[in-house]
Structure 1
């Protein structure tokens, strides 16, 4: 590796007309080397004053716009239209925020852009999408949490109210999804010569990427049908429990039989927990009270540091519950490159997350001072026009470059070692849009999400996470297995892993070796805390990363020091899956330009830091301010209110004078409008209890959907709490074409699945083929890709090098989840 890198998206021009939570979209493009030009009015956009602000400086703005350049166009200027026309004419990608002053002034029309520049990709950004009955609804992060089903799973079952997650998680999920859709469309445009119009919706994105109702679930609950989640908040604390120490708290994550046996040793091997039934996570959850009594006694006698150290020595996944102040002071996050001290535009030095990507061994993102917003309206990058070549897979009849509704990754062959959620997701995204994704696995080292109930070979969760893939059973610990893998690499375009750092090298297949076999190969790696630094070898389940990043401490009931409520979520696995898929496509674009492949690595902790970057920066400038930026409403009434029915809730946000007046009228309190106590946000906050009591009384007599519609009709942000089961029957998701069904042979009936990542004018529908049983395509893959004859295959199977599924040689029936 060198100290410099040829940026994967060098030569790609992105015109950035995004605002608010959408600002980070352009930042991701800039981190990968695109020339991103942000357009602002004279004096700068309002985003410079919004977000997390410290002493008049928007930390959110500085972080989200690092690496971009700026140009000023006055929406009221005489030459505004001509200036914008010139900029858009020379762009490859245009990010258009529906709220932008340039759109509201009719200076930019996305539909006309597509007609005028048919080779461009135009992504229209809005809260609910252009084609939606909610198009004109008012939105806030709280409303999005309610409508996307996230709220229904946040909180504790013994609390009356669900818990709103930290608001920054919305933008932290939305931006990667928008980048994924846009770069996918751009890749297709480079293959076909025809661009695209993306109708992007925040709500669509959250349903896909945060904790998807029809997506891969964590290994701790892979056997549970998501549609069987209880009506109230599900209680998953027993899977990743938290216990007090003498000076803090720790979380442990004991899932596998090996981890449980190590935990037993740590507990002193108590006789009453030694029965073999305790090897099962489900059995341990059933008997959690007995087990947790031992846990509490163990941790009560040691410090947090001692608990973490001993857990690591025994290889029991253990970490501390850290606050923001702990995170910004943690040396490990500087050693691995996640955080660095950076001079802000006003000269102050803040601790900032650098970014999410390491490309060819070099960190991208914030590498020095944040940009000085000096207008510079010329494009620096030469335009790229050469069409992309096809990949190495044989896709005869499936890869028509002149078909505008085709799958952009048809022709690519991907070797997929990904496991659990993040590992599954990266390959699934590529497979959905045409790639031949071969999941390489073995019985000796099974995917954690293959751990299913006795007699069950497939779950809906696994099917959603691995649809459209083929499974190759291959023992890489043998010389013949390694030789077969070398042959596969020579015929592949991409290798995906999320092993612990160093694992691929120990198998003899580090990136340098892969590149010797195939100079065009693209390798994607991901881990918990990155591939360098003292924490690179730490066990990194998502719940542990959330705890160590400071997120768990922020996601809890404010009046309960033990009210941690992030256990049920899979965040950020699906986010990191998108981030890695984006980088894979970017490196494939560079390969088309240079002929060589490359390697990208990411860390789960960096995806979390990207979402909470402004809060970390604020904390570094003034201890306590990072948390203060999250606490409490800035106006009233705002919050969660019970509606009629059993555990039904509605989010209402009456912030601002205009919203307050409308709210007062609709809930029957017009006298508030002339009451001086409520004429300012400070006054409303001072009398918040009176306002909320009245709103609570009004909401409690109406069902949540009726209350939501009454408020949205007058422009007040509101949303009812949706659940998993509501999504499949929701008119708005069906209206946007985001739902379909998939057929999995192990299930008697088709079941719902997401149809596509979002709305596109020209991308083909995502495929919804079945997920494979372990080793189901072993013979097929080595026969078709490597040309092995049946006698050779039989010999390799007999010697255990190849592991076909028993159904390939027997008629043993298979079963899915209990129906």
Structure 2
């Protein structure tokens, strides 16, 4: 056992005493591993395994082993044995084709147990029996349409990012229901569609976007892929390549000074991001400046100066970095055959300790003690289980916005703490009010408190707010909260029940902790950018407009909040959690990392064909994926190719050997098909296939209409409608999220300090006059009153 796993075993992990029954199919059982990491007993019935298995594992074997780490594996038996497990469980996670759990639960357990069904397309629509793979999820969520470069075919992202993000969303939904059941005494019935989950947690086309977009929804992007080298330049240096991510004017000014203040770029016009990105002369000057410096030197100087920059690593370089070693982020596990392999070890730190699935379970708390403590909590409303929960949200940009929005949607009173001196990057907008459709989607159901935390009185006011709060969220550079005197130790001294969750790019410790972190830099450091390119063009980096892992990182942050609140119900004390976006990303490549560590060669897609094929019409595409012999036979029938049924193509290995000729045949057939028609024909035969949807296609796509996934809200200060997801998942108990509009900066300052602190109007006026509190900017207030600055209809 490593020091990290020993520490994980020693502390009171948040879900200790909780029981989860995992009845999921292989391939999606990763949903429940996070519960095991957080201390729950996760029971997973599995088929009998051959005794004495010492063969070299396949990638599928490794995937199963990784997904099942920390779980209690029991031999699958009859319904009597399953019923015994079910009636011990607080949460049952099952598939559509699993046994009917309701018939196995005792009457006294039926209302108290959460049952979450996870499937690719969910229940109750005409698409329930459709098949999905990672490429299908990319195609149907709009991610594929944005991946690649102009003039080329769409490029499937590496790994299985869509499925990994979907499983994280499902895990968040289950954690929310589990916590709600502790509050209300009632277990929910939840239907999770992994298509919808991927839509929300990977890179939602109608969700909150990064500051570089100026708040414009992805639907307004050009319909094709971006031009090569768009947005975040990747330039050569002395020992490889580096990526720059200069967004804010102050970042450019710092870079300008570092370059020696070249006169040709002194014009203030270069403070504009679009001008910098469009200047070939500036790009050439940056390349000259970087060329003789190493990645390490540039990263070190960038961190010291506040310039967002990262070396472009391979995955192997990232894994061997001293940063990950110091953080104990990579551990060693053993296959069922006895072979050791490396893997990322947990993505959440609780009270400074990594939550590891490799740690032995902790001793469950006494049921009597639990019941006594829980009885002191008044029952919550199952429709809004977090109603009354007070959240101080200092989070910024995508991770910060999403993390607190998830809590606000299920009832929490989320106060966005912000200031005009250091505005949230998502306030940089095409509208002069600081609003945008992106901001509106990411900050619905929150209130805004304008508070100057650089002022002594501002800090004092924050401490008073924290004394009555339940949760504090932030995602600044590590150490920022401590430098303000608002770190966890200070807050816990004021309020022992406070829960604090901090998200950062690289974690709170280690050599990379001080680096500025944006998603593009994390992807570069983690080795993802180096993988996300066309095989025939080493410079075709294609991750420039994706927003990953921000949204999925926010799901892990919300899971940590809810887990710590669950622990607080039985202990009365709060706690702190940390999330590293780098480690979230690496966890999504766990199978690749494990396979490489035991010398298992990357064997490419599981069968032929597997990829993106051009359909009839301009820039129309359809993904086709064959997983096994059954899919292959079905594809042969749809394409009317009886010759594909011969012995020479009977196995996946034989088909992979003839991949090129098979895919030429599929491409020829697809070229004569409408993409939608081809998708329906293949899915009717059971073959996972999907046409490439663009963001504008999503709301009208029949699947999303049948499932009522999207909704349209109207913001009182914008003409453009706000399209967003209707819910996190289909729930029997939860009401749909409210539609309270995202706030103007400082819009609710007065009412928040009145409600939370009981301040009078005179005292509030003094705080505003002394610039401790901020209210709506007078210029913005006049525009709003006059109905101006509302943007396009």
Matched, 1:711 2:682: yes
Q: Structure 1 unaligned runs (5+)? A: 75-79, 372-377, 392-398
- Secondary structure of 1:728's partner? helix
Counterpart CA distance in 2 for 1:556 and 1:708 is 26
Q: What is the Cα deviation at residue 342 of structure 1? A: 4.4
Residues 503-553 of structure 1: CA deviation (Å, up to 9, x unaligned)? 111111111111111111111111111111111111111111111111112
Backbone CA RMSD of aligned residues: 2.7
2:494 to 505, 517, 521: 517
Q: Which moved more, 1:233-242 or 1:525-534?
A: 233-242
What residue is the counterpart of 2:82 in the other structure?
Answer: 84
What residue is the counterpart of 1:356 in the other structure?
Answer: 347
What residue is the counterpart of 1:61 in the other structure?
Answer: 64
Matched, 1:15 2:18: no
- Secondary structure of 1:545's partner? helix
Matched, 1:296 2:287: yes
Q: Which moved more, 1:596-605 or 1:13-22?
A: 13-22
Counterpart CA distance in 1 for 2:758 and 2:21 is 47
Query: TM-score normalized by structure 1?
Result: 0.90
Matched, 1:678 2:681: no
Residues 200-221 of structure 1: CA deviation (Å, up to 9, x unaligned)? 1110100011001221101111
1:94 to 92, 95, 99: 92
What residue is the counterpart of 2:74 in the other structure?
Answer: 71
Q: 1:20 to 1:210 in 2, by over 3 A?
A: same
Counterpart CA distance in 2 for 1:618 and 1:671 is 35
Query: TM-score normalized by structure 2?
Result: 0.93
What residue is the counterpart of 2:49 in the other structure?
Answer: 43
- Secondary structure of 2:545's partner? coil
Residues 17-51 of structure 1: CA deviation (Å, up to 9, x unaligned)? 12333222221001111111111122279xx999x
Matched, 1:759 2:730: yes
Q: 1:779 to 1:255 in 2, by over 3 A?
A: same
Q: What is the Cα deviation at residue 146 of structure 1? A: 0.8
Work out whether residues 719 and 792 of structure 2, in 8 Å CA contact, stay in contact via their aligned partners in 1.
no
Aligned residue pair count: 780
What residue is the counterpart of 1:534 in the other structure?
Answer: 511
2:264 to 272, 279, 284: 272
Q: Which moved more, 1:712-721 or 1:741-750?
A: 741-750
Work out whether residues 102 and 110 of structure 2, in 8 Å CA contact, stay in contact via their aligned partners in 1.
no
Q: Which moved more, 1:345-354 or 1:527-536?
A: 345-354
Matched, 1:129 2:122: yes
What residue is the counterpart of 1:495 in the other structure?
Answer: 472
Q: What is the Cα deviation at residue 779 of structure 1? A: 1.0
2:706 to 732, 735, 751: 735
Matched, 1:644 2:616: yes
Residues 376-398 of structure 1: CA deviation (Å, up to 9, x unaligned)? xx99985955685799xxxxxxx
Q: Matches of residues 557-576 of structure 1 in structure 2 within 5 Å?
A: 557-576=534-553
Residues 72-93 of structure 1: CA deviation (Å, up to 9, x unaligned)? 123xxxxx01111111111111
- Secondary structure of 2:189's partner? strand
- Secondary structure of 2:63's partner? helix
Matched, 1:427 2:404: yes
Matched, 1:451 2:428: yes
1:320 to 295, 311, 331: 311
Counterpart CA distance in 1 for 2:144 and 2:460 is 49
2:659 to 678, 684, 688: 688
Counterpart CA distance in 2 for 1:35 and 1:603 is 25
Counterpart CA distance in 1 for 2:621 and 2:62 is 33
What residue is the counterpart of 1:374 in the other structure?
Answer: none
Q: Matches of residues 101-120 of structure 1 in structure 2 within 5 Å?
A: 103=98, 107-109=99-101, 113=105, 117-120=110-113
Q: Matches of residues 224-239 of structure 1 in structure 2 within 5 Å?
A: 224-235=216-227, 237-239=229-231
Q: Which moved more, 1:23-32 or 1:429-438?
A: 23-32
Matched, 1:476 2:453: yes
Residues 472-513 of structure 1: CA deviation (Å, up to 9, x unaligned)? 011112221112111111121110011111111111111111
Counterpart CA distance in 2 for 1:388 and 1:280 is 54
Q: Matches of residues 130-145 of structure 1 in structure 2 within 5 Å?
A: 130-145=123-138
Q: Matches of residues 545-694 of structure 1 in structure 2 within 5 Å?
A: 545-622=522-599, 625=600, 628-629=601-602, 632-674=604-646, 676-694=647-665
Q: 1:57 to 1:732 in 2, by over 3 A?
A: closer
Q: What is the Cα deviation at residue 782 of structure 1? A: 1.0
Work out whether residues 635 and 687 of structure 2, in 8 Å CA contact, stay in contact via their aligned partners in 1.
yes
Q: What is the Cα deviation at residue 659 of structure 1? A: 2.2
- Secondary structure of 2:718's partner? coil
Work out whether residues 112 and 187 of structure 2, in 8 Å CA contact, stay in contact via their aligned partners in 1.
yes
Q: What is the Cα deviation at residue 112 of structure 1? A: 6.6
- Secondary structure of 2:448's partner? strand
Q: 1:751 to 1:510 in 2, by over 3 A?
A: closer
Q: 1:162 to 1:784 in 2, by over 3 A?
A: same
Q: 1:795 to 1:440 in 2, by over 3 A?
A: same
What residue is the counterpart of 2:193 in the other structure?
Answer: 201
Work out whether residues 437 and 720 of structure 2, in 8 Å CA contact, stay in contact via their aligned partners in 1.
no
Q: 1:665 to 1:621 in 2, by over 3 A?
A: closer
